[in-house]
């Protein structure tokens, strides 16, 4: 007599838990520094996220409306229009207001952090990022939306 407890056949065909939430793994990176953007994309792709990139704010507005990502990583210093202004516009738009936005920036002053909150950022992460904290922050917002 076997001592192995095999799962019922119906359980074998179920989608694994990490794949069930795949629809909540879509992230838009808004970052004008190509190296930072590339590193973030490689990191997030390695962790199973689907990633779009935008080096400028106005393009990010269009991408957010068209693609409806589950999360946006927003640099504050962008060419043409600041990440804070892009965040403000996204939070005022009915199509994008519920998308969580995490400011990812080297601007470490309390003044900029306050401006980030006032513009509608849902979290504020400083560069250089601390990997574990960064990934936990991202995952906490994706779980909320799940």
Residues 62-84 pLDDT 10s: 999 999 999 999 999 999 999 99
pTM of the model: 0.82
Q: Which SS3 state, helix, strand or coil, does residue 16 take? A: coil
The CATH number of 23-145 is which of 3.40.50.1240, 3.40.50.2300, 3.20.20.70, 3.30.70.600? 3.40.50.2300
Band of residue 138 on the pLDDT scale cut at 50, 70, 90 = very high
Strands 101-105 and 123-126: parallel
Give me 3's structure tokens.
């001592």
Q: Determine how many CB atoms are found less than 10 A away from the CB of residue 145.
A: 13
Looking at the DSSP assignment, which residues form a beta bridge with residue 73?
Answer: 29, 102
Residue 11 has pLDDT above 70, yes or no: no
Question: Would you give the DSSP letter of residue 130?
Answer: -
Closest CA to 64 of 102, 32, 90: 90
Question: Would you give the DSSP letter of residue 77?
Answer: -
Q: Determine how many CB atoms are found less than 10 A away from the CB of residue 12.
A: 8
Closest CA to 78 of 39, 51, 99, 106: 106
């Amino acid at each position: 007599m076997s001592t192995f407890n095999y799962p019922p056949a119906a359980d074998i065909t179920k989608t694994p838990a990490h794949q069930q939430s795949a629809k909540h793994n879509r992230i838009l990176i808004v970052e004008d520094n190509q190296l930072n953007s590339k590193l973030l994309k490689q990191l997030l792709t390695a962790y199973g996220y689907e990633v779009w990139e935008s080096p400028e704010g106005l393009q990010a507005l269009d991408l957010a409306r068209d693609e409806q990502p589950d999360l946006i990583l927003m640099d504050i210093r962008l060419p043409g229009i600041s990440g804070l202004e892009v965040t403000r516009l996204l939070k005022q738009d009915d199509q994008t207001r519920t998308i969580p936005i995490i400011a990812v920036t080297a601007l470490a002053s309390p003044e900029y952090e306050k401006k980030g909150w006032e513009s509608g950022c849902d979290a504020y992460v400083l560069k250089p990022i601390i990997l574990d904290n960064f990934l936990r922050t991202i995952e906490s917002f994706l779980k909320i939306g799940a």
